[in-house]
Amino acid sequence: MGRNEMKFLNLILFVTTLGFIGWWSYDNTGELRDNFKRGLIGAGVVATAYGMVRSGNGQIFGRFSWFWRGTSKFCFLYLLFLTWVVFHTSKDARHLMSYIDPNLGKPVTKGMHTYDDNCELLWENVADNIDHYFWIHAINWFAAALIVRDVVFLNFWSVLDEFIELSWQHMLPHFRECWWDHVFLDVLVTNTPAIFIGVFLINKLFGLRKYDWFGRENAKSILHWDLWHNHKRLQNVLFAFFIICVNFLTGFLLINSLWIPPKNYFNIYRLVVWFILANLAFVEGYHDLDTYGTPANKEISSEYRWLTSAILALEVFISWKFRHDTGNLTEVPWPSYVTIPWAIVVGLLFLRWAYLRVFKPIPPLSPLKNGNKASIKKTQ
């Protein structure tokens, strides 16, 4: 079976399986014991479907492939857990979380600390906003640098996160920050230094290869980046940013829906899962992009990208299903000053991709510009 046929069958399997889980679980109002059983059956269906996805990416992870295979199963357990949770009612799901941690199962206070209480640029106000999220920011961006390995991609992502916060602050009060918090504490003080330190250590300490997601090598200017002239590269980068943005939001929406406070070990477990998933998916995705049009590309499956997409889809579904009576979520209409700019940007990017896809397609056997024209490198 050809690789394109396999991709199509994987897509059908993904949509069918998650569609079935969503249909069977959305209106569950039965007894806890019945939903418990349905959740176990649903987890079995997901496990069976995942087993049908072609694997075989060991060569791109080198001598540590055994470690990443093992940790991917750790993430797979999280997928089964989410599948089981989604079959319950919001009341039962929140109550069952208390069996994991006795501190859970209680409403999250609506009076949590916000970051726009005192926006006058004074040291005491700045110091008040340096809390656990400040240090999590630094650790997350250092870890992200080890995963993405592209300083331009990372800094664009850093700024994009701030726009996501600004766009959702009318619904998530926790996103409300002072201007200097966005610019100085987030971007300049924590994100950027962590990114540059991580990227510097990629090769110096860990011996990993750096990536070029945008195709910047040998480009005269930003307009000459391969990203704007290659539909394959553009769609991969856009998909990566879509996953990143949704994951960033579910990190807050999911814990709201399940009544999980920010300072809880469940959040650490989720961050570990997503660190593993992101590394697997980014390495797999970059090698898929880097070897496009070469025989080496046939050796790369989409196993970890499907696993990542499935977990994210279930996190979104749980956040939506259990959205009522959450701790820190305000359901208000979207303001036009948020929706219109996003619609314009997304529309222009889609039109550019469609133009490249239709009028400037890449020949099937032509490797991408700046791509690896030989074979998959044994090192990550």
Mean pLDDT of each 10-residue bin along the chain, 380 residues long: 69 90 84 90 92 66 75 92 94 92 82 72 82 84 94 96 93 87 89 94 83 92 93 94 95 91 88 93 90 77 89 96 83 92 97 94 63 47
pLDDT score, position 328? 76
Q: Under 8 Å CB-to-CB from 66, ≥6 apart: which residues?
A: none
Helix, strand, or coil (residue 88): coil
pLDDT score, position 377? 47
Helix, strand, or coil (residue 177): strand
pLDDT score, position 69? 81
Q: Tell me the C-alpha distance between 352 and 348, whole Å.
A: 6
pLDDT score, position 321? 93
What DSSP string describes 213-252? TT--TT-SSGGGSGGGT-HHHHHHHHHHHHHHHHHHHHHH
Q: Tell me the C-alpha distance between 44 and 24, whole Å.
A: 14
Roughly what angle, to the nearest 10 degrees, separates helices 303-321 and 231-257? 40
What DSSP string describes 249-275? HHHHHHHHHTT--SSSHHHHHHHHHHH
Half-sphere exposure of 209 (CA within 13 A, CB side): 17
Strand-pairing partners, residue 177, are: 115
pLDDT score, position 174? 80
Q: Could you tell me the pTM of the whole model?
A: 0.88
The residue written with tokens 């992009």 in the block is: 289
pLDDT score, position 200? 92
CA distance to 79, 152, 290, 298, 323, per residue, from 370 (Å)? 35, 16, 8, 19, 45
pLDDT score, position 375? 42
Q: Which two tokens stand for residue 284?
A: 């797999």
CA distance to 140, 205, 249, 297, per residue, from 340 (Å)? 30, 45, 20, 39
pLDDT score, position 113? 61
Q: Under 8 Å CB-to-CB from 312, ≥6 apart: which residues?
A: 243, 246, 247, 250
Helix, strand, or coil (residue 211): coil
Q: Tell me the C-alpha distance between 317 and 218, whole Å.
A: 43
Instruction: Read off the amino acid at residue 334.
Output: W
CA distance to 5, 158, 249, per residue, from 174 (Å)? 44, 18, 12
pLDDT score, position 379? 43
Q: Under 8 Å CB-to-CB from 17, ≥6 apart: which residues?
A: 45, 46, 49, 310
Q: Which two tokens stand for residue 211?
A: 């990536």
Q: Which two tokens stand for residue 225?
A: 């980046």
